[in-house]
């Protein structure tokens, strides 16, 4: 079942959007985040497989739409060299430009 808030915005379990998108997402005590898919900055998340890079917070994040109901977000820093990794490519692979690892 899809959860929505009173304004009809989808609830995203466990995702954490940071930085410039703090104004776009309101975290709750349950660990859910409300994402306003009407915002142009988040347009790629309207489609399954879409992703956006989020910078400017404590650390960079990549958020992606897993399927119609689920989103995921992860820290977009390489755990080896702490370099920011590139956004997902067409094959849904993230690449570190510092040491060319793929995730």
4 lies in which domain range? Answer: 1-103
Q: What is the pLDDT along the chain (103 residues), one digit of tens a residue?
A: 344 444 444 444 333 343 334 333 434 445 566 778 888 988 999 999 888 887 767 778 888 898 988 888 888 888 888 888 888 676 777 888 888 887 7
The partner residues of 75 in beta bridges, in order of sequence, read 61
CA distance 68 to 49: 10
Q: Domain count of the chain? A: 1
* d(C-alpha 27, C-alpha 34), whole Å: 7
| DSSP conformation letters of 14-56 | T----GGGTTTEEE-TTSEEEE-TTSGGGGGGGSTT-EEEE-S
Give the closest residue to 60 by CA, choosing from 26, 43, 84, 44: 84
Is pTM beyond 0.75? Reply is no
- List the CATH number of the domain containing 24: 2.102.10
The pLDDT of residue 46 is 93
């Amino acid at each position: 079942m899809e959860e929505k808030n009173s304004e009809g915005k989808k609830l995203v379990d466990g995702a954490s959007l940071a930085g410039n998108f703090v104004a776009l997402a309101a975290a709750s005590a349950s660990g859910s985040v409300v994402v306003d898919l009407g915002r142009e900055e988040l347009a790629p998340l309207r489609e399954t497989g879409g992703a956006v890079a989020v910078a400017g917070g404590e650390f960079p994040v990549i958020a992606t739409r897993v399927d119609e109901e689920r989103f995921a977000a992860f820290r977009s820093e390489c755990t080896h060299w702490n370099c920011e990794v590139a956004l997902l490519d067409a094959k849904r692979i993230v690449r570190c430009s510092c040491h060319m690892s793929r995730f």
